[in-house]
């Protein structure tokens, strides 16, 4: 991701460009493993609230984007948020996320769908979206990633967790010094690439299906429906998809000293 001037805030163009790049990697038999990384100080500050853009060339078949009101907006988010994340999670090749600095809300949606997370020692992870009057970001796998107790705390307070705590909770695979992050990640990718493609695909499918058996996809769809209720509720009561007062709360919290 190369929007360092925006702290890699995601807009629709970025999401579909990531999707296109992943497609190229999946269809290229010379590619064994993929690394998703970001330029600049922070991995991603989440959704670009100042310029999210218009979805171009949606690929998942959720029509009705132009319907007015909640119907159209739900169709959009089914496509470019929940839909893309779930699609990426189920791609056949291993994907490693290389994370530095802050990953906030939508930034987690560029990490959690992937297989292995390598974090710098200054990395921190948060989902403060409850401040917007919503239940959290659209790819709601929080309880799988950090456990249900910590998920509640993250969501209720909006406070971030640092790399060490994320590692202890099982969300992060490895922590390394910032100046060694790329080197370590590429070394990990090289080790993974030595395994046969068929074995890697089967291993990934098996782990994913273990989560599926626990009801992950059903839970995701339920949380997504609640997310859409939150948007609709905000529209009626506040005239906006999100509670406007939440932006200042989230920005102020993001500027605070990182957790130990």
- The per-residue pLDDT of the chain, averaged, comes to 93
In the predicted structure, residue 44 carries a pLDDT above the cut 80: yes
Which of 123-156 are b and which e, b meaning 16 or more Cβ less than 10 Å from the residue's Cβ? bbbbbbbbbbbbbbbbbbbbbbbbeeebbeebbe
pLDDT at 50: 73
**Residue-wise pLDDT tens digits, 210-247:** 999 999 999 999 999 999 999 999 999 999 999 999 98
CATH, domain range 4-254: 3.90.226.10
**Residue-wise pLDDT tens digits, 58-74:** 677 777 788 888 888 89
Query: What is the CA 116 to chain-centroid distance, rounded?
Result: 13
pTM for the predicted model, two decimal places: 0.93
Work out the average pLDDT over 184-189. 98
């Amino acid at each position: 991701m190369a929007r360092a001037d925006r702290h890699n805030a995601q807009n629709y163009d970025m999401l579909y460009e990531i999707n296109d790049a992943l497609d190229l990697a999946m269809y290229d038999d010379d590619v064994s493993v993929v690394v998703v990384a970001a330029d600049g100080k922070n991995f991603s500050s989440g959704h670009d609230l100042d310029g999210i853009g218009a979805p171009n060339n949606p690929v998942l078949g959720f029509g009705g984007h132009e319907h007015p009101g909640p119907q159209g907006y739900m169709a959009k988010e089914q496509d470019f948020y929940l839909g893309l994340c779930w699609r990426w999670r189920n791609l056949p090749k291993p994907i490693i996320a290389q994370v530095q600095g802050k990953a906030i809300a939508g930034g987690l949606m560029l990490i959690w769908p992937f297989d292995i997370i390598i974090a710098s020692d200054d990395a921190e992870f948060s989902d403060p979206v409850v401040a917007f009057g919503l239940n959290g970001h659209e790819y709601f796998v929080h309880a799988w990633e950090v456990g249900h107790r910590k998920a509640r705390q993250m969501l209720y307070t909006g406070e971030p967790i640092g790399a060490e705590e994320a590692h202890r909770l099982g969300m992060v695979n490895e922590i390394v010094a910032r100046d060694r992050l790329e080197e370590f990640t590429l070394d990990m990718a090289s080790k993974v690439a030595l395994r046969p493609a068929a074995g890697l695909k089967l291993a990934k499918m098996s782990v994913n299906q273990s989560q599926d058996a626990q009801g992950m996809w059903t839970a995701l769809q339920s949380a997504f429906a609640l997310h859409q209720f939150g948007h609709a509720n905000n529209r009626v009561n506040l005239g906006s998809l999100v509670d406007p007062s939440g932006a200042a709360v989230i920005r102020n919290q993001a500027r605070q000293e990182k957790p130990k």
